[in-house]
Amino acid sequence: MAAPALLACDWGTTNLRAWTLDDQGAVVSAREFPLGVSRIARSEVADAFARQIRPAMAAEGVPAILCGMVGSNLGWTAVPYLDCPSTLADLAKAMTDAPGAPGVRIVPGVRYTGFNGLGDVMRGEETQVFGWLAQNPAHARGRHLICHPGTHTKWIVVEDGRLTAFATAMTGELFAVLTTHGVLATDSRPDGGTAFDDGLAASGDGAALAARLFTARARVVGGDASPDTSASYLSGLLIGADVAATPALLNLAPATDVVLLGDQGLCALYARALDARRVRTRTFDGQAAAVAGLWALHTAGILS
């Protein structure tokens, strides 16, 4: 087994994904830890990294780069956001040394003025975006619209290798809240069946979402649909509204091709929703992009 040259971590709210990489950026080992910043006290983050993560990855004394919520006010230390437009080199220069941990650097998030001037932010997705750009020279040419599905879905514009704009839709969080609390709460689970497609059709142009959401209740209590289909219908409705309305906030035509980057299961649902609107998609693995991004930041940091 090759000796690790870098400990790379995507440290989120609920989980931490860690990889050791060799001197060419190839993965030597990988592991997940239930140590998201919402699960441990802020005062325990540095100790958890030193006493649990490093030994488990056999990476004591190895340089480390961490991205994600570890750089938020919930994490190790609050790293200031980098403003759009930004490049990989900008991100590398803005990395911050972790307090009390020589050789450990934390990636900043990215801040944008927002579609309405009130602001938008991301932490972690920017590393995947720049990893995707680094994976293929063709990705850094021209303009691309990237969709990163999740709790807070990001729609991101990159132009000639620069991250220039983005919009956040709280699609996943809305689904979690609505299926847990209130009149739409359900014990059913989304199964990707025909009810999902019914939800896509019901999403229309994404406008008047509050009114469209009530159809998830009406279709059941009116006797036309089984309660077991509620979660799938609601998933389709929310994702359908997201793909219909959010890209327009970035002044992009509805027919723009979309790069789907992230969890493969979520990307498949978004691909289905976009296909229903005759939008072409290409799907890329988010973890592979995160690794590529952390390695690209490491090499850019050495050269800067």
If asked whether residues 57 and 88 sit together in one domain, one would say yes
If asked whether residues 178 and 274 sit together in one domain, one would say yes
- For the chain, how big is the Rg over CA atoms in Å? 20
If asked whether residues 247 and 294 sit together in one domain, one would say no
If asked whether residues 194 and 273 sit together in one domain, one would say yes
If asked whether residues 230 and 271 sit together in one domain, one would say yes
Report the CATH number that the domain containing residue 218 is assigned in CATH: 3.30.420.310
Give a yes or no: residue 132 inside a domain: no
pLDDT by 10s per residue, the chain, length 304: 678 999 999 999 999 999 999 999 999 999 999 999 999 999 999 999 999 999 999 999 999 999 999 999 999 999 999 999 999 999 999 999 999 999 999 999 999 999 999 999 999 999 999 999 999 999 999 999 999 999 999 999 999 999 999 999 999 999 999 999 999 999 988 888 899 999 999 999 999 999 999 999 999 999 889 999 999 999 999 999 999 999 999 988 666 799 999 999 999 999 999 999 999 999 999 999 999 999 999 999 665 4
Residue carrying the six token digits 């509204």: 241
Strands 6-11, 16-21: pairing is antiparallel
Give a yes or no: residue 147 inside a domain: no
Report the CATH number that the domain containing residue 32 is assigned in CATH: 3.30.420.300
Give a yes or no: residue 188 inside a domain: yes
Which residue type occupies 186? Answer: T
CA–CA distances in Å: residue 177 to residues 39, 145, 183, 199, 263: 19, 28, 11, 17, 20
If asked whether residues 220 and 203 sit together in one domain, one would say yes
If asked whether residues 211 and 106 sit together in one domain, one would say no
What is the rounded distance in angstroms from the CA atom of residue 121 to the CA atom of residue 71?
A: 13
Give a yes or no: residue 158 inside a domain: no
Give a yes or no: residue 159 inside a domain: no
Query: Domain limits at 83?
Result: 6-124+288-303
If asked whether residues 268 and 295 sit together in one domain, one would say no
Give a yes or no: residue 113 inside a domain: yes
Selection from 301, 285, 302 nearest residue 131 by Cα:
285
What is the rounded distance in angstroms from the CA atom of residue 155 to the CA atom of residue 259?
A: 10
Residue carrying the six token digits 């998030």: 109
If asked whether residues 243 and 292 sit together in one domain, one would say no
The reply to whether omega before 85 is within 30° of 0 (cis) is yes
If asked whether residues 254 and 293 sit together in one domain, one would say no
If asked whether residues 51 and 72 sit together in one domain, one would say yes
What is the rounded distance in angstroms from the CA atom of residue 162 to the CA atom of residue 130?
A: 9
Give a yes or no: residue 212 inside a domain: yes
DSSP letter assigned to residue 241: H
Q: What phi and psi, each to the nearest 5 degrees, are found at residue 200? A: -60, -45
If asked whether residues 17 and 99 sit together in one domain, one would say yes
User: What's the total number of domains in the chain?
Assistant: 2
Give a yes or no: residue 152 inside a domain: no
